[in-house]
Every structure is written in C-alpha cells, then in structure tokens.
Structure 1
Amino acid sequence: MANYASLGTPEQLRDPNFTPGLHKAIPLGIQHVLAMFVSNVTPAIIIAGAAGFGFGSNSPDFPELLYLIQMSMLFAGVATLIQTIGVGPVGAKLPIVQGTSFAFIPIMIPLVAGKGVDGLAAMFGGIIIGGIFHACIGTFIGKIRFALPPLVTGLVVTMIGLALVKVGIEYAAGGVPAKASNNPEYGSFLNWSAALVVIFVTLGLKFYAKGMLAVSAVLVGIIVGYVYALLVGILSFDAVSGSWSNAAAFALPQPFKYGFEFSIAAIIGFCLMAFVSAVETVGDVSGITKGGAGREATDDEIQGATYADGIGTAFAGIFGGLPNTSFSQNVGLIAMTGVMSRHVVTIGAIFLIICGLVPKVGGVIRTVPIEVLGGGVIVMFGMVVAAGVSMLSDVNWNRRNMVIFATALSVGLGLQLEVLNMAPGAPNALQYLPDSLRVLAASGILPAALIAIVLNLILPEDIDGEPMEVSGGMAGHRND
C-alpha cells in the first residue's frame, strides 16, 4: 500500500482545510475519481437502455445516450464542489465525493421503460422536485433518524441491490432479453467470457494489489475487458473511432433539454427515496469524520451535507443529470489514505467537470460493450446487497424484528418478481391500481420500506426472549 505519511503531519492530515502540495494533491484527487468513475456513469447507461436507446454510434439515440453520460460526469463534479467548498449552510465542507445514485434506478426504470425520449420529462420532473424535497430534509434530518434504524435501512439497501442484480446478468449475457431476438449471441460463451474477464481481474486486483490499483479495481477490470472485447471481435475498432469522431470536442449542458412534466408517481417515488439517500449520506459523513479525523460528525456537517445532496440533485435534474448522493467507496478511500483534505477532493471534482464538458470522453465510455459493463455491475450490485446485509447484522433478531423483516421483504420482493417479470400486456397483481400507484408499487422497494417503517413504529418492543419457530426447524433468537 502506498505510504501517505509523507504528505503532512498527523494533525495536518486530519484537517479538512489542509492542502498537500499540488504534486501530491492532484494524484490523490484523480484517485478519488478513479474509485467512483464506473459507478457514476453506469446508472446513465442503464436508464438509456431501459428507455430503449440504441447503443450504436449510427443510432438516432446516440446523442441522447452521450448527453446522459456527459451530465453524469459534469454534475457529479458540480455536486462534489458544493460539498467541499460549501455555499453558506449548504455543503459539509468535508472531502465528500458525490455521484449518480444507484438507489433511484428501480424508481426510474418503470418511468422510462420503452418510452424513449418521451419518458424522460416525467423522470426529470421527479428528480428536480425530489431534489428540492431532499434539501428540505436537511432541516430535520436529526429528528427522523429514529424512524430509520438498521432494520429499515438495511432492508431497503438490500432490496435495492436485489432489484439491480438482474441487470448485471442481462448485461453480461449480451443486453436485454426483450431484444435478444435481434442478438443471436445473447447468452453465448463469448459474451460471458468478456464479463468473466472483468470479474476475475477486478477480484484479483481488489485482494492482491495495493494502493491505487486496488482502489480502482473495477475501472481497471473494465479496461482489461474492453481490450479483450477488441481482441475477440465483440467490439470493432471502427465502432470506437466512429464514436470518437461523432462526438463533439466541447459542449455545454442545456437546461430542460427533455422538458419538465409533473408526474405524481415520479414525484412521490423520488421524494420517498430521498429519505433513504439522506440516511446514506448521514452514514457517509459519519464514516468520513471517524475514519479521517477520529471524531463524530457535527450537526452542521450532517445538515450541510444533506442540503448539498438535495440541491445537487435538483440542479442536475434541470440540465438532464440523474440524482446524486455521497459515494461510500470514497469514504473507505479516506480511511485508507488518512488524508482528510477537502481540497484534494475539490481537485477530483474539477477533473470530473472537465470530463463532463468534453463529449468525446462520453463517446469512448459509450463504446464499452454491454457484456464488459455487465461484469463490472455484477460486482458493484452484489456489493450493494452485501452492504445491506452488513447493515442488517446490527439488528437484534428477536421475534418482533423477524416478523417486520419477513413481512416487508415478502411483499417487496414478491412484487418485484411478479410484476416486473410479466410479459407486456399480461395481467399482474397490481393491474387494478391507478397508474401512479402501480409504478410506485412495482419497484417493490417503496412498499417494503413503508411496511418496515410503519411496523417498526407501531409494533411493541419484544421483551420476550423466546425464539420464534419457523418452518424447516429454524428459529430466530435474541442476541442478548
């Protein structure tokens, strides 16, 4: 592992306002970008695929896909600057890296599924209003944490991961099954081999490499998979050169490029998921101050971070960017390096903004074969599930909590499997609900979260230490 002690004294390294020399600060800032880069642009590619955008450089949707990728980079950088520099009470003034959130993907997919550009207006309307609501949460975030214990937050994070793992398998096999009829190689060994190369390289670097290679394992894995795809013919050099030449060298974001539409389902969905994102940010801020400075986060830092989360999301939505949140992988990076400087992360934010203003960067990213991306997201989405399970490990598994978890998981996961896997036009369990409620319920995450929150608030505490008998001879016990 790299030696970071030479950057400054222990007191300096724990100070958010300390700036190492630029010859050291710039590589550290770029390291933060490498750690989050793939995770940041992946949601844009997933949403574009769900909307039905073509991925070829000759596709009429190519500029739209390129624009979504461009905005993901640009507004991750802008939102990060809001966190690190701060504007009055907005921003924690800590080394918090912002990026496009996976948590909102299960909400966004039903809004845009198969609708092309026409489905984006309602989605971005929800993002803007949801972002404003998210910022408002900052005024009372400390007062609602009691309603979101690890039982609830762990369940929601696990559900988000479970909703996404299917996407990784589909991408690794060669795309989306609905389009498999146009892709005779869907599920072939060739496609899977590209995904497996990414997975093996990522795991190898994560566990056997040190320093920057370990931190950017997913990115390096995708680069190796990209080269492999070129060598075996999954991707052609003509496609790469075409994407590069068809992308502009510089472009500014366009406000309300896809319009603005009030959709009750979108607004409710984004506002409810804002609670989850806010709690995640509270955890990340606490992790940064503990790992980097050995102290608890202050109320002003938590409040400022939540304000910045929401304002960054609303601002991104105006220009066609997806919801932003703090990135946990960068929290771990701060704990590893021990460098608490917010100015280091500011350098990384500037790098992201520059990339977002150069569509040619997005053009190259767009050429990453879906099979290669699948290998990366299998690892990333699996880690989301693992993070949820880790949070659930803090739960006292008595009879009460087991019933809450079982009920919420059964309803939420059941709706995901039953509704989202139905063929178009086929009857489903939610077909008699109004359109807005059906979109919200189909994700499974929101019903599960609401059930868990309500039951956790109204059910009495289980003071009986007796185990709860369940089928198969298993029993749940208190961890007293």
Structure 2
Amino acid sequence: MTDTSIGTPEQLRDPNFTPPLHLAIPLGIQHVLAMFVSNVTPAIIVAGAAGFGFGSEAGAQGFPDMSYLIQMSMLFAGIATLFQTIGMGPVGARLPIVQGTSFAFIPIMIPLVAGKGLDALPALFGGIIIGGLFHCLIGSFIGKIRFAMPPLVTGLVVTMIGLALVQVGIQYAAGGVPAMDKPEYGSLLNWSAALVVVFVTLGLKFYAKGMLAVSAVVIGIIVGYFYALMVGMISFGGDFGIAATIDRAAVFAVPVPFKYGFEFSVAAIVGFCLMAFVSAVETVGDVSGITKGGAGREATDKEITGATYADGIGSAIAGVFGGFPNTSFSQNVGLIAMTGVMSRHVVTIGALFLILCGLVPKVGALINTVPIEVLGGGVIVMFGMVVASGISMLSDVNWNRRNMVIFAIALSVGLGLQLEPKAVQYLPDTLRILMTSGLLPAAVIAIVLNLMLPEDLTDESTEEVSGGMSGHGTGSLKG
C-alpha cells in the first residue's frame, strides 16, 4: 500500500524524487533484505558444485574462496545497481532497478565446474566476461527480438530454471552433496533445521506485513541459524567455530582483478551468450513491471535499452573480479508495487549498503558459517518460487494444440537430458555440457519451433502428436 506520508502521489511516482533520509534509508535496506539471500546463493551453489563449498574438506578448513565469491556477489550487485539507478551515458535505465546474481545462469555454470575445483574458474569467468559483453550488445536490438520470446518461451525457460534447481534445495536440506555417502545424510536433525526455515518463512509471508513479510527468507534463515546453534550443528568456539571463522577474515579488502585467471572455453562462452538472451528478456519484463506498478506507464525504449546495457556491463565487470552474471531482481519489482515508492535514490542507498558489505570479508565469512541444511530450507522456498513464476508466465499462453506441442517437446528433451546426462556422453565435451544443462536445448527448441510452426495448425496436423490431449483452444493453468 502506498504511504502518502512519504510524499505526494505525484512525487512517489517520480523516479527522481528523494524521500526524507530517515525514511529513504530503511526503504533502501528493505530492498537489500528482499534480495540478499537470493543474491549470494548462486556463489554458494557454484562453490559446492566445484568442490570447495559447504561440507567439503576445503570448506571445513575455512578455505577462503567461497567467502570471496560471496563477497563479490554483494559488491557487484551493488555496483550494477548503481549503473541502473544513477546511469552512465547510455548505460542504465535510471529507474529503481535492483540488480543481483542471476539464478538463470546456474544450470549453465554447474556442468562447467562440476567436481573440477578452482581449475574450472578461469574458463567460467572467461565465459561470464564474454557473455556480459554480448549481453550489452543485445541492448542495441533488444526491441527487435522480443517477438521471438513470447510467454510460451520465457515461461518454459523460467520453469526449467526452477526445475533444474529444486534438486539442489533438497540435497542441501538433507546435508549437502559431499555428505551423500555419510550416515547423517537425510537425518531428522538435518531436515529439522531446514523445516524450521521453511515454516518461519511461510509464517512471515502469510501472517506478517511490511518489512517482516518482505524479508521473510532472511529472517527464516536467521531463526534456523540459531536453531542449528542450539542443537549443536554449529559451534561458536573452536578452530572452525563461528568466532574463529569470522576472526580469520579481513576487516576490509578490495577485489582482485582476474584473481582466478581467464580462459576461453567454447562451452562457457556459448552457454553464457545464449542465456544472455533469456536474461535480457527477463529484464525487459522487470523494467515494464516497475514503470507500470510504480508510475502507471509503459517503459520507454530508452529505459529498456539502458537497462539491458547495464545488465551486460555489470556482468562483464563482475566477471573480471570473480563475480557472477547480474540481472534485475523481480522480487524488488513487487516491492516497488507494494510500497508505491518509485524513487531511484532509495534503491541507490540500498546499492551503497551492498557495496559496503562486499568490501568487508567478515560478512562473507559469517555467511560461510551458515549450515548447509539451514540454507537448504531457504533455497527450497526460493527455487520453488522460481518454478511458480514460470508457471505464472505460462498462464498467459493461449494453450492451443500448436503451443502444447512446442511446450511438450521442449520440456521433454530439456528435462530428460538434465535427468539423464549419460544419454549424450559420446558428444564432444562442449556440446555435451550445453546439452546436459537441459535449459539451453529446451530454450532453443521452443524458440525455433515457435518461429517455424504456423499459427494455424489444423487439428489433423497435430492430433497424432498431441495424443488427444489438446485441451481447449484457450485457457490457463488455474483450473
């Protein structure tokens, strides 16, 4: 609900309006709370997939690399957000857009780093940098390719992203991938910590209001953290306890360019460039959502182009210093619609807070002490919401036989390859990595079929493929 005590209705719809500082600061921090856990989670997942994250021998010894990746996630989310809110020439929409580490790229990153440790990072960040520059290039023609990604395609892709990640949430809640061969994996103790987070998050989402509801996942993880401390899953003292872990981290540190090196990998470059299209279309939707929800108008071509430029530049610069691709965060779009405060300067304050956290390694070290089971409870909620968002997009699709065939084939191939990666084990390494992500083959199939198949497919031409499950000519997923 719009709070008119902050300003007049006209002021609240103005991106250039600055609320009083005593109101602007908590509003800015509210934006950070809404995206904080989602922003650092990709770094934790990639580190875990590579073998130096939670539960690994390196992680148990306080290995600093995951903390550094977390630090860069915060720092460059803040810097990319400044590109959007303050702008730099043609870069930036100059709207209250919050940038953060994108979930969309995780299904691409996991096959690239799986079990390879730090050796996988040069190629990974090489792909991020090249992909970011290509993403920036998309800004010059984003308006001309939107036709190729209707809700059928974007909804499928977002749903596939969520489906690719839900397994990670369950594994984390049960004890993490490194613990899968150990007796404690899947124990009641592990699940109890995850379920505490889930129940607290749901309770706040449904029964609280304002900042409590917006920061439900963060508060849920904090409650889960204290629960884990009480039941002995983590300790405060000892060589690897909370105090020692935080004490070993520096108070202040600057990012290191090319800390992990730089390497050209065809699989990484192709993967990140293809996903840049999906991320760009997502940003277009977020920009449109902000202008509609906060200002009651359509987004201009200049705003959409500037936002896409900021996505790409932010991602490329992040890759140089060990950060992951950035994109606009949809949860903050909803927050603007809820508060009615369209001020870009409020989001700028939030960005400065993120940058401050990113320059203080002790923050990353503290996050590093969160038990993986506790994080699992949070990501179960988050990744489930990604799937739900995709289904929500699909509700706008005209479910005729043509669209059902496209969806069915793309989903079957994409999800099938993801579940059974050995099915393409004899393909060249580059193509195998791209195919087993599941996401890229599903997206390519959906885009190509959507462009090739005529809109007026007859009943006879689709009856055999659809198997009689054609549904109604129009409809939604509601019932």
TM bracket, shorter-chain basis: over 0.9
- Local SS of the residue matching 1:7: coil
Distance 2:151 2:158 in 1: 10
Distance 1:401 1:475 in 2: 10
2:443 to 446, 449, 457: 449
TM-score, normalised with respect to structure 2: 0.95
- Local SS of the residue matching 1:313: helix
Report % sequence identity: 81
Q: 1:173 to 1:472 in 2, by over 3 A?
A: farther
- CA deviations on 1:402-460 (whole Å, 9 max, x unpaired) are 111111111000000001xxxxxxxx211221110000001011001111111111111
Q: 1:471 to 1:148 in 2, by over 3 A?
A: closer
Deviation of 1:290 (Å):
0.3
- The answer as to whether partners of 2:401 and 2:470 remain within 8 angstroms in 1 is no
Deviation of 1:465 (Å):
7.0
Distance 1:180 1:284 in 2: 38
Give 1:74's aligned amino acid. L
Query: Is 2:245 the counterpart of 1:246?
Result: no
Question: Where does residue 424 of structure 1 map in the other structure?
Answer: none
- The answer as to whether partners of 1:468 and 1:476 remain within 8 angstroms in 2 is no
Query: Is 2:231 the counterpart of 1:232?
Result: yes
2:473 to 456, 459, 478: 478
Question: Where does residue 404 of structure 1 map in the other structure?
Answer: 406
Question: Where does residue 109 of structure 1 map in the other structure?
Answer: 110
Distance 1:472 1:245 in 2: 63
- Local SS of the residue matching 2:103: coil
Give 1:143's aligned amino acid. K
Q: 1:440 to 1:379 in 2, by over 3 A?
A: same
Question: Where does residue 128 of structure 2 map in the other structure?
Answer: 127
Deviation of 1:471 (Å):
8.4
Q: 1:328 to 1:403 in 2, by over 3 A?
A: same
Distance 2:333 2:459 in 1: 37
- The answer as to whether partners of 2:399 and 2:473 remain within 8 angstroms in 1 is yes
| 1:156-235 equivalent positions in 2, closer than 5 A | 156-176=157-177, 179-181=179-181, 183-235=182-234
- The answer as to whether partners of 1:399 and 1:462 remain within 8 angstroms in 2 is no
1:351 to 353, 373, 388: 353
Deviation of 1:59 (Å):
4.4
- The answer as to whether partners of 2:197 and 2:221 remain within 8 angstroms in 1 is yes
- Local SS of the residue matching 1:99: strand
Query: Is 2:122 the counterpart of 1:82?
Result: no
Give 2:473's aligned amino acid. R
- CA deviations on 1:175-194 (whole Å, 9 max, x unpaired) are 01x5423x421100000000
Distance 1:49 1:312 in 2: 24
Distance 2:61 2:189 in 1: 28
RMSD: 1.6
Give 1:188's aligned amino acid. S
- Local SS of the residue matching 1:355: helix
Distance 1:60 1:401 in 2: 51
Structure 1 unaligned spans of 5+: 420-427
- The answer as to whether partners of 1:86 and 1:92 remain within 8 angstroms in 2 is yes
Question: Where does residue 40 of structure 1 map in the other structure?
Answer: 39
- The answer as to whether partners of 2:404 and 2:466 remain within 8 angstroms in 1 is no
Deviation of 1:236 (Å):
1.0
- Local SS of the residue matching 1:254: coil
Deviation of 1:15 (Å):
0.3
- The answer as to whether partners of 2:414 and 2:438 remain within 8 angstroms in 1 is yes
Distance 1:325 1:200 in 2: 29
Structure 2 unaligned spans of 5+: none
Distance 1:179 1:311 in 2: 38
- The answer as to whether partners of 2:34 and 2:331 remain within 8 angstroms in 1 is yes
- Local SS of the residue matching 2:115: coil
Distance 1:439 1:338 in 2: 44
Query: Is 2:93 the counterpart of 1:92?
Result: yes
Give 2:474's aligned amino acid. N
- The answer as to whether partners of 2:80 and 2:314 remain within 8 angstroms in 1 is yes
Distance 2:464 2:339 in 1: 47
Question: Where does residue 422 of structure 1 map in the other structure?
Answer: none
- The answer as to whether partners of 2:139 and 2:309 remain within 8 angstroms in 1 is yes
Deviation of 1:54 (Å):
4.5
Distance 1:58 1:394 in 2: 44
Q: 1:463 to 1:439 in 2, by over 3 A?
A: closer
- The answer as to whether partners of 1:104 and 1:323 remain within 8 angstroms in 2 is yes
Question: Where does residue 66 of structure 1 map in the other structure?
Answer: 67
Distance 2:116 2:474 in 1: 49
Distance 2:387 2:145 in 1: 24
Deviation of 1:351 (Å):
0.2
Give 1:298's aligned amino acid. T
Deviation of 1:343 (Å):
0.2
